Amino acid sequence: MALLDRNLRSSFALAEAGAANDQTDLVVTSTSVLDSAYKLLVQARDQDNIVAPDSKAVKSPDLLVLGAEAAIKNKDFKTAHEAVRKFFLQAPPHDQFYCRALYIQALIEAENAKPLNGSEAVYQLQKAIGYVLEALEIAILPDNSPRYNFLVYNASVHYWHVARPLLRTGAYQYAVESMSKIVAALEGIDDADTMWRVRYLISLAQGFDEASEFDEAAKQVTKAR
């Protein structure tokens, strides 16, 4: 792996780790590291005279995803949006990085829903959920099992974050269909985190109950026991 490629990967990892730390000085450092690394990546990708070993590596689309993930951790949604936009413009293969880019796009769309209310908020959240489900469909393809099982679990985590405003009385109806797909996927990989599945099953039962689908609600409660 070329030197510049390694340095960028290390910088994005450092920026992501720093963002997860509560110490103010580390958070400030992670932000500056992210900013410097992303600017260097963009500059390198735009240059045609990069040293040969670095040229192909730096233009690898997965670096954009790593940068976008670090940006999300640092709540820099502008950089995350720019990075995934550049990623999708490359028409990348539908691999794990494609799925991870879709998760990032979902988080960006969910962030855009925060100032909205009513039907506008629901529409925006459904848009965000759509990206999670798109990634999930790729992750559960027979050819991708079991090596993409971790992406199925990640889909459940990102879905919970994105759909949380809908997981309340009066709004569950907008999440039942999509949540059912998440639950089915978790059951399909028989994920070891049973308490996480139980949490989903209980929420799905509440959704079915609110939709007056009492038999389905009872099924979810039974599975949660």
pLDDT for the residue 59: 80
Q: Could you tell me the CA-to-CA distances from 192 to 51, 70, 83, 145, 195 in Å, in that order?
A: 46, 27, 33, 16, 9
Sign, CA torsion 6/103/205/220: negative
Same domain, 43 and 127: no
Burial class of 20 by CB neighbour count within 10 A (0 to 12, 13 to 18, 19+): exposed
Q: Are residues 86 and 114 in the same domain?
A: no
Is residue 103 included in any domain, yes or no? no
What is the model's pLDDT at position 63? 96
Q: What are phi and psi of 170, to 5 degrees?
A: 95, -15
| Mean of per-residue pLDDT scores for the chain | 91
Helices marked H in the chain? 3-19, 24-46, 52-58, 61-73, 77-89, 96-113, 118-139, 149-163, 176-189, 194-210, 214-224
pLDDT tens across 131-167, in order?
999 999 999 999 999 999 999 999 999 999 999 999 9
What is the pLDDT, as a whole number, of residue 3?
A: 84
pLDDT at 122: 96
**Is 130 part of a structural domain of the chain?**
yes
Q: Tell me, what DSSP letter sits at residue 94?
A: S
- C-beta separation of 12 from 37 below 8 A: yes
Q: Mark whether 4 and 64 lie in a shared domain.
A: yes
116 assigned to some structural domain: yes
CATH of the domain at 205: 1.25.40
Same domain? 36 vs 64: yes
Residue at 9 is within a domain:
yes
Q: Give the pLDDT mean for 11-39.
A: 80
Based on the fold, state whether residues 119 and 36 are members of the same structural domain.
no
Is the pTM higher than 0.75?
yes
**Is pLDDT of 211 > 60?**
yes
Residues 81 and 123 in one domain: no
Give the range of the structural domain holding residue 76, as residue numbers without chain letter.
1-92
Chain mean position to CA 112: 15
**For position 17, what pLDDT does the model report?**
87
Same domain, 116 and 225: yes
Same domain, 117 and 224: yes
Question: Looking at 92, 122, 156, which one is the last position of a domain?
Answer: 92
The pLDDT of residue 51 is 52
70 and 154 part of one domain: no
Residue 100 covered by a domain = no
Kindly state whether residue 82 falls inside one of the protein's structural domains. yes
Tokens of 11: 């910088």
Please give the share of the chain, as a percent, with pLDDT higher than 70: 92
DSSP 4: H
Tokens 């990640």 belong to residue: 154
Whether residue 73 sits in one domain with residue 45: yes
**Do 209 and 124 share a structural domain?**
yes
How many domains, the chain?
2
